[in-house]
């Protein structure tokens, strides 16, 4: 019944369309700056969909990135109520990005890299490793816990593709992409349609158990960078979901202070402690895999929680409006 309702809604609402507006194929500077990771994600998905031979390469193909940036700019340039809604009112971005500018590596303390990386010296004379790090713009290393480091690059690249290369050096115990979890919103594209159709999905309500409310806007962009709003459907949106998200306000790179974060026991039965070395009151955010979250005030360096259902979660801490910790995985088995 729900699927039928959605189909009927699409048919009814798709009749309400914005007049086609011709666009050039220039890339809007605000889109290029503030949607870097979303554009890279769309480009990666496009390359995988087309079975491009370089879809698993570390550097995301420039042509695919340019095409997705042009398409997003064309939608933004419509400046219609619908495009303004997705970009300027509801701040719709992907809540998990596969592209990133940080990667986490852990090593044994007797690793020959450890004495250098622990004092911030990234390039240590290991020719092959130094070559990869330099090629892809890595410029900083910071120890975030004993034997665990975060590396930062000035490029937006396919971090998942670099993991195998780094592990091949047999220097690291683990290499993984840092995941920053936000809301449950997402941007995706129908690559099989001509013109391509871009979906902007707003999700909210009870997201710890899977978001109960969703609303979606659909646009199409042809090969000449002409964009058109097609339809919107879903649950009614309350005014309290409108955010202050003018593009000048959005921070394209989320930075945090790498304060050590401990969760114990982990896994647990729903009762556990969170420890972090903070200097003032902070807010603990616990996200589920759908992007829903609970927040707790942390008045000190320890917090006890005993009311989470079974599941996999991600924990972050914010202090004075700034993220203090990278996300840490939490597993609850009741």
User: Do 93 and 195 reside in the same domain of the chain?
Assistant: yes
96: left (phi over 0), alpha (psi -120 to 50) or beta: beta
Q: What is the pLDDT of residues 130-145, one digit of tens each?
A: 999 998 889 889 898 8
Any domain includes 249: no
DSSP, collapsed to helix, strand or coil, labels residue 296 as strand
Question: In the chain, how many domains are there?
Answer: 3
User: Do 160 and 229 reside in the same domain of the chain?
Assistant: no
pLDDT at 244: 60
Any domain includes 182: no
pLDDT at 161: 79
pLDDT band at 149 (very low <50, low <70, confident <90, very high): very high
User: Do 166 and 192 reside in the same domain of the chain?
Assistant: no
pLDDT band at 70 (very low <50, low <70, confident <90, very high): very high
Structural domain range at position 327: 261-332
pLDDT band at 22 (very low <50, low <70, confident <90, very high): very low
Question: CA 94 to CA 119: how far, in whole Å?
Answer: 35
Give the CATH number, domain containing residue 142: 3.30.70
pLDDT band at 17 (very low <50, low <70, confident <90, very high): very low
User: What are the tokens at 196?
Assistant: 């391509």
User: Do 116 and 85 reside in the same domain of the chain?
Assistant: no
Any domain includes 153: yes
User: Do 88 and 206 reside in the same domain of the chain?
Assistant: yes
Beta-strand pair 261-264/272-276: antiparallel
pLDDT at 9: 32
Q: How buried is residue 277: exposed, middle or buried, by Cβ count under 10 Å (0-12/13-18/19+)?
A: exposed
User: Do 172 and 104 reside in the same domain of the chain?
Assistant: yes
Distance (Å) of CA 77 to CA 42, 51, 121, 186, 228: 19, 30, 44, 20, 10
User: Do 92 and 192 reside in the same domain of the chain?
Assistant: yes
User: Do 143 and 191 reside in the same domain of the chain?
Assistant: no
User: Do 9 and 84 reside in the same domain of the chain?
Assistant: yes
Most confident range, picked from 103-117, 158-172, 297-311: 103-117
Q: What is the pLDDT of residues 246-292, one digit of tens each?
A: 543 333 334 455 677 888 888 888 888 888 877 677 888 887 765 56
User: Do 74 and 219 reside in the same domain of the chain?
Assistant: yes
User: Do 88 and 125 reside in the same domain of the chain?
Assistant: no
The pTM for the full model equals 0.60
Is the CB of residue 218 less than 8 Å from the CB of residue 230? Answer: yes
Residue 171 above 80 pLDDT?
Answer: yes
Any domain includes 318: yes
pLDDT at 6: 31
Any domain includes 247: no
pLDDT band at 102 (very low <50, low <70, confident <90, very high): confident
DSSP, collapsed to helix, strand or coil, labels residue 36 as helix
User: Do 273 and 224 reside in the same domain of the chain?
Assistant: no
Q: What is the pLDDT of residues 182-235, one digit of tens each?
A: 557 889 999 888 999 999 999 887 665 567 889 999 999 999 999 999 999 999
Mean pLDDT of 154-174: 85
Residue 21 above 80 pLDDT?
Answer: no
Q: What is the pLDDT of residues 185-197, one digit of tens each?
A: 889 999 888 999 9
Any domain includes 256: no
Any domain includes 67: yes
């Amino acid at each position: 019944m729900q699927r039928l309702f959605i189909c009927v809604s699409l048919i009814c609402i798709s009749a309400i369309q914005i007049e086609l507006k011709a666009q050039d194929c220039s890339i809007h500077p605000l889109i290029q700056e503030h949607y870097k990771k979303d554009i890279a994600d769309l480009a990666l998905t496009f390359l995988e969909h087309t079975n491009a031979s370089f879809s698993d390469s570390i550097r995301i193909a420039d042509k695919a990135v340019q095409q997705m940036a042009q398409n997003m700019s064309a939608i933004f340039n419509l400046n219609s109520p619908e495009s303004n809604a997705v970009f300027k009112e509801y701040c719709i971005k992907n809540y998990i990005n596969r592209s990133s500018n940080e990667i986490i590596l852990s090593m044994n303390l007797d690793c020959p890299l450890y004495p250098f990386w622990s004092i911030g010296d990234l390039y240590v004379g290991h020719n092959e490793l130094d070559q990869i790090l330099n090629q892809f713009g890595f410029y900083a290393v910071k120890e975030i816990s004993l034997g665990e480091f975060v590396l930062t690059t000035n490029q937006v690249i396919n971090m998942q593709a670099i993991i195998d290369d780094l592990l091949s050096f047999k220097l690291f115990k683990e290499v993984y992409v840092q995941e920053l979890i936000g809301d449950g919103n997402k941007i995706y594209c129908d690559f099989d349609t001509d013109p391509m159709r871009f979906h902007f999905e707003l999700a909210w309500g009870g997201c710890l158990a899977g978001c109960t409310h969703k609303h979606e806007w659909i646009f199409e962009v042809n090969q000449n960078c002409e964009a058109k709003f097609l339809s919107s459907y879903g649950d009614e949106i309350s005014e309290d979901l409108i955010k202050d998200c003018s593009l000048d306000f959005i921070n394209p790179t989320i930075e945090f202070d790498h304060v050590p974060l401990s969760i114990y026991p982990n896994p647990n039965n729903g009762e556990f402690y969170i420890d972090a070395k903070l200097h003032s009151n902070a807010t603990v955010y616990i996200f589920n895999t759908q992007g829903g979250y609970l927040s707790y005030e942390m008045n000190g360096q320890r917090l006890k929680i005993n009311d989470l259902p079974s599941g996999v979660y991600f924990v972050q801490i914010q202090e004075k409006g700034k993220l203090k910790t990278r996300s840490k995985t939490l597993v609850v088995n009741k």
